[in-house]
Each structure stands twice: as C-alpha cells, then as structure tokens.
Structure 1
C-alpha cells in the first residue's frame, strides 16, 4: 500500500481528491494484481453476507448451542416498535442489527469478520441501519467498506485487532473505529474528519478487556457489539461536527498497542479474569464442562 499511517492515508486522499474508500480500492487492486471491478465485486459479496446475517438474526432462532444467549436483537426490535427509544430510533436500530449479526455468529451462522468474528456485528449494524435510513445504494456502501478496510489495515499493522493479543479494546475498539471513519465518509465528511473519528472512537475503547464467559464469543461479546455500533455513530457525529482527536489518531493507535501489550494475560481472551471469573461466570463454565462431559453441545 502507498500509505502506512492514517495521516498518510488522509493526505493521499485529499491530494488526489478521492475518498478513502476509492483510494483503498485502487491500492488493493494494484497490490493484489486484480482488476478493480473484481475487487469491488468481492467486497459487494461480503456486504450481502452482512445483510443476510441481519435478516436471519431478526427473523430466525439465534439461540446459541450453549443456550446462554440468543434473540436479544429481536427483543430490542420489538421494543422499538412499541415504545420510543431512549437513545433514539437510529441508534437502537443500529444496536439491534449489530446484536443480530453477533448472535448469528454465536449460533454458528455465516458472518464476515470485520475485522474479527468477535466484533462482526458493529460494521453491519452501522452500515445497514444507515443505508435504510438515508436510502443509499449498495454501491455507496461497498465503497465505504473499503474505507473501513483501510482504517483496519493501519490499525492491524501498528497495533492489534484480536482480543487474544490486545484485549477487547483491540477487537471491538478497532471495529468501532472502522465503522466511525467509514460513516463520516458516507455522510460526506473529509478524509481528515474520518481520521479524527477513528481517534475519538479508539480513545473511548482504551483499556477494554477481553473476558469471554466460558471461553465463548457470547458473554459479554454480543452486547459489546451492540454498544459498539452506537459508539461508532456518536464518534462519527462528533467528527462531522468538527470535534478533533487532539491526540493524533496514529498516536492513539500506538497507545492501543502499548496498553494491549501491558494488559495481563487473564484479560486477553483466556477466560481467566473479568466477567469470566465472577461467581456466575464460573457457574456457567462449570455447567458447560458438565454438558460436554455428557456429550452435549
């Protein structure tokens, strides 16, 4: 790629008068030695998978094999149809869609890792709910996915995107940042505003531990996807309003790496600390082991 940092990415996009999404598409096509149309078509396929996961999550049984999670997205949508949402309809819809995708993942359905399976609901939740709200065409959404991909590329190469390496701040935090930056682009913001949204989003995620109860990508992973979608919308709104990340976004990524590297192992996807070691968390783990011993799921 021609860029290694978010600052370089924004500068290139502004110099060439392109969106980050278009710039990333062109660079990825050159890097992979594939025609841009083919690269775009593959991303378009991924977007259809995201939309299908939302549809299934809102209409089908999403109870996980463990039996501990499922159907929360449908509960949120039901309440949304019956009562005014505390956070507003757009936020709650994005949250419900993010929950839907994450519940499909937990019930062994098909999702797109964005950037990981554990954070797979955030980008679809933000993208699909916003597309429905503003009436955008799929082509516009797919282009914005390349913007999200460019942001994820920088984060992955300078820090962590997996919970096992850097905690949930890396996994969910990077997805929130990717969704926030892409949302700024979708709303007509500048490349630099998109970059500021990344820094704002990541700063609000620093220190978030990865503590999956029972070692499963269910509790608290699913609800964190829901909250993450709402945070991404908030970060995008801040950036579009002119709020800047006073600490440059590339430096925030550096802090993400620093915090992740110093985070105790028990808080990095090992299920040995945090919520996983609460009395209820340990009881769930015990029940799961008993079920497996009896040949259960």
Structure 2
C-alpha cells in the first residue's frame, strides 16, 4: 500500500477544564524532519511527542502545533493588596498637597502601584496536569491518525497513476516488439549487401568479417533488453502492491527501467522504435517525479 508524504490532520479534545486543538502537517522531505510548536508548560514533553511522530509518520517534514484554551475561570497567582494601595495613594496625594503640587489621578495610581508589597502572591488551585496531558495525547493521536488517513488516500491516487504509467510503457514495449520483427529483415538485408561487397573485394579479411558480424549482432539485438524491461515493469507493480512499498524502492526500480529503455533506444537504430522510446521516457519521468512524494 502506497502512502504519500503530503498529509494533514487536526483534532480537538475538550474536557471540563480545557480545550486542546492539535494540527499535524506533513510535506516532502528526504528524511524525517520534525518541528513542534507546544505550550510552554509542555516543553519537556517534546521528546515524547517526537518519538510518537517518528514511529507513526516515518518520513517527511512534519509540523506539530498544539494549542490549549482554559474553559473554566482561573484565579490569578498574583493579586493587588488594595488596602495598602489605597494607603500609598492617600499618602502620595497628601504629600503632593503639602508641596502645593497637583498630580493627575492616572499618574498617582502608577506611582502607588510601584511601591513595595503592593503585589502579593496567592495560593491558587493548580490544574490536574495528568488529566490535561492525557487530553493532549489523545488529541495528538487523533490528529496523527487523520494525517495518516490523508496520506493513504493520496497514496491511492498515486497508485492509480503509477498503474497508468506502467501500462503505457508496457503498451509501447508491445509496439516495439512488433516493430522489431519488421526491423530485423531490413537489418539483415543491409548486412547481406555489405557482405556481398566484402566478398567481391580483393582485400577481404575473413577474420575481420567475423568480428564485424559479431559486433553488428550485438549492436542491433535488443532481445535481452525487452525481456528485462518487461520483468522490471512487472516487479514495479508487484512491489507497489505490497505492505512494505516505499518511494525509495520504487525509485530504484524506475532507474532500472530507465536503463533498459535507454539501451533499447541506443541499439534499435530504428525511427519508429525511437518514437516509442521517447514516449516511454516521458512516462518514466512522471513515475520518478511521483515516487519522490512517497514515504
């Protein structure tokens, strides 16, 4: 089963005290590259989340974003000592009046807030970190699951495309096999004409003639290339339908397909076959490009 490296998944989990929203985005990358955007209180959990993403997303550029909103009223940890603040305000106002100065109320409040012990720390009820972290984990797992589902859907589309590309190459190979049957007599006739000219020559060298014949036979025969190409095409489809199918392996098989196509093109010495070779190369480039998007 093919799986694309491009994916997206999001999830929201709500509890009695908070709402957790998680987004997971994945793009093409040669290796696994993870970037996490987490609330400050969960910074130490990044290693745990990275391990989860590494196990389930395998490869690609991964962006994880976690946001948390508290749904219940939270008391501040620092409060203002109002009686002391009022005492500072009155003292500053009286001191200014004694000096025949007028201080605006806004400035008076700022001066009072800057005095010692105006702020005091209160004990506040801390949220249940265990329950909150469980909610975060649940949201991350669901977002990753949806991202993988997206990747599998995209992979299914690519699989359909690959089958079309491989079928086109196979059809071209069939046409090449038909043309090869017509090509051989023409090549044989050309060789026989050259042989008759050599036999009539006074400088005819039988050893050189045999060497030339071997050279031409090897140069024009594409039987082995056709067989290997057909096997590579079949192997590509077989690997694509396995559970361990991946972009790297399919790309390697595509390179082997390309070698056989290039050899057929260079040895055939036939205009009709060359046209089919060009078409096969075009389909193969599409395959190589798309395998770069697979895990």
- Shorter-chain TM-score tier: under 0.3
Larger RCO of the pair (alpha carbons < 8 Å, separation 6+): 2
Structure number with bigger Rg: 2
Structure showing the higher helix proportion among its residues: 1
**TM-score, normalising length: structure 2:** 0.20
Structure showing the higher strand proportion among its residues: 2
